Amino acid sequence: MAVSSPFLFFLCFTVLSFSTPPAHSQSIQLPFHPEDVLPLLPRQLAWPILNSLRSPADLLPTFVGAASASSSSSNGTLQWKGACFYENAAWLEFHNKSGSEFGGGTLHVKVSKAHSWTCLDLYVFATPYRVTWDYYFRSREHTFEFKEWEGKAEYEYVKSRGVSIFLMQAGMIGTLQALWDVFPLFTNTGWGEKSNIAFLKKHMGASFEVRPQPWVTNISVDDIHSGDFLAISKIRGRWGGFETLEKWVSGTYAGHSAICLRDSEGKLWVGESGHENEE
Ligand SMILES: *[C@@H]1O[C@H](CO)[C@@H](O)[C@H](O)[C@H]1NC(C)=O
Ligand SMILES: *[C@@H]1O[C@H](CO)[C@@H](O)[C@H](O)[C@H]1NC(C)=O
Ligand SMILES: *[C@@H]1O[C@H](CO)[C@@H](O)[C@H](O)[C@H]1NC(C)=O
């Protein structure tokens, strides 16, 4: 059946929300920052202060860039301003300490110019194949080991794109409070899955219901009509946690979507959202 009316072809790209770094009015180094001492205060006192200081968006990881190895065109060094440390740089070094097929790498992170003596920055390091985190308290060069790349795909990805670095905006204190809520989102377990579902329910009022069996259905191309919409919502695995946070800030309920359209000859086209897929 041919569709003659003109149609709009939508390509929806997943919107990664980058919040702007917090503005720090003081540039001089303070011995401490009021936010740093919050945990020392009695809980009843600390909570209201914390609530007045932070908006939920502070707890989102901010993408600061990708650290890569040096190449002929660049030295691979990424530089950025953190929430606690104002001067930061990171670069990646490949090695083969494990003697495995693709070897591993060392991420060098150099942090300096802390705005107070007690603050620290918490980072999430990610490739499409893993998400891990670390925090920095002292001005110096730190290293983070990737013992072994998971395979050719991760190795090739990191070689060309580097390791993505996200800053947890709220700094350690806010993040620690939020980790109870956010950290389980990133674990690839049944607990992680439950946490993602609970987070979406609590913050977005979204509910997920288990489908009745069978979970696999065979459909043929003829069953697909113009305008059929497919949506995938990841609630588990490496990117499940990021997707949950993306949904929350963007107000969407799907992480990945596709729309099926038939042209005037009845030929089927699928417009798919998202990042480029290299596998
Ligand atoms: C790498 O390059 C950046 C700018 O491209 C520069 O600021 C930085 O000092 C360089 N780092 C090294 C270790 O050469
Ligand atoms: C790492 O070392 C092993 C054993 O020597 C070798 O087979 C492999 O090709 C090396 N991998 C890389 C990426 O250099
Ligand atoms: C789907 O098709 C495959 C292959 O024809 C068959 O083995 C399977 O049982 C079918 N599944 C369902 C749910 O009909």
* Domain ranges, ordered by start, for the chain: 58-175, 187-215+223-272
Q: How far, in Å, CA of 144 to CA of 34, rounded?
A: 30
For residue 26 and ligand 1, the question of a CB distance below 6 A is answered with no
For residue 73 and ligand 1, the question of a CB distance below 6 A is answered with no
Ligand 1 centroid, distance to 142 Cα (angstroms): 17
Q: What residues have CB less than 8 Å from 135, skipping those under 6 apart?
A: 120, 121, 122, 123, 172
Instruction: Give the mean model confidence (pLDDT) for residues 91-117.
Output: 89
Tokens for 144, please give them: 């983070």
Of 208, 133, 146, 238, nearest in space to 178 by CA: 133
For residue 219 and ligand 3, the question of a CB distance below 6 A is answered with no
If you write DSSP's letter for every residue of 245-260 in order, what string do you get? HHHHHHT-S-SEEEEE
**pLDDT tens per residue, range 157-175:** 899 888 888 887 655 455 5
For residue 44 and ligand 3, the question of a CB distance below 6 A is answered with no
Atom of ligand 2 nearest to the CA of 96: 1
Q: How far, in Å, CA of 239 to CA of 234, rounded?
A: 7
Q: How far, in Å, CA of 92 to CA of 148, rounded?
A: 14
Q: How far, in Å, CA of 92 to CA of 74, rounded?
A: 12
Of 70, 105, 102, 72, nearest in space to 89 by CA: 70
Of all protein residues, the one whose alpha carbon is nearest to atom 8 of ligand 1 is: 77
If you write DSSP's letter for every residue of 163-188 in order, what string do you get? EEEEEETTHHHHHHHHHHHHGGGG--
For residue 103 and ligand 2, the question of a CB distance below 6 A is answered with yes
For residue 205 and ligand 2, the question of a CB distance below 6 A is answered with no
Q: What residues have CB less than 8 Å from 267, skipping those under 6 apart?
A: none
Q: Of 45-59, 223-237, 246-260, which range is least confident?
A: 45-59
Ligand 1 centroid, distance to 243 Cα (angstroms): 33
Q: Which residue has the higher pLDDT, 93 or 32?
A: 93
Residue 89 region by backbone torsions, left for phi larger than 0, else alpha for psi between -120 and 50, else beta: beta
Q: Which residue has the higher pLDDT, 181 or 254?
A: 254
Atom of ligand 2 nearest to the CA of 99: 2
Of 248, 192, 274, nearest in space to 58 by CA: 248
* E strands, 53-120, in order: 61-67, 78-80, 85-95, 104-114
Instruction: Give the mean model confidence (pLDDT) for residues 73-86.
Output: 81
Ligand 1 centroid, distance to 75 Cα (angstroms): 6
Cβ neighbour number for residue 8 with a 10 Å cutoff = 7
Shortest-distance ligand to the CA of residue 108: 1
Work out the pLDDT band at 261, boundaries 50, 70, 90.
very high
For residue 11 and ligand 3, the question of a CB distance below 6 A is answered with no
DSSP 25: S
The pTM is what? 0.51
**Is it the case that residue 44 has pLDDT exceeding 70?**
no
Which 3 state secondary structure label does DSSP give 95?
A: strand
Which 3 state secondary structure label does DSSP give 192?
A: helix
For residue 101 and ligand 2, the question of a CB distance below 6 A is answered with yes
Ligand 1 centroid, distance to 77 Cα (angstroms): 6
Work out the pLDDT band at 94, boundaries 50, 70, 90.
very high
**Is it the case that residue 112 has pLDDT exceeding 80?**
yes
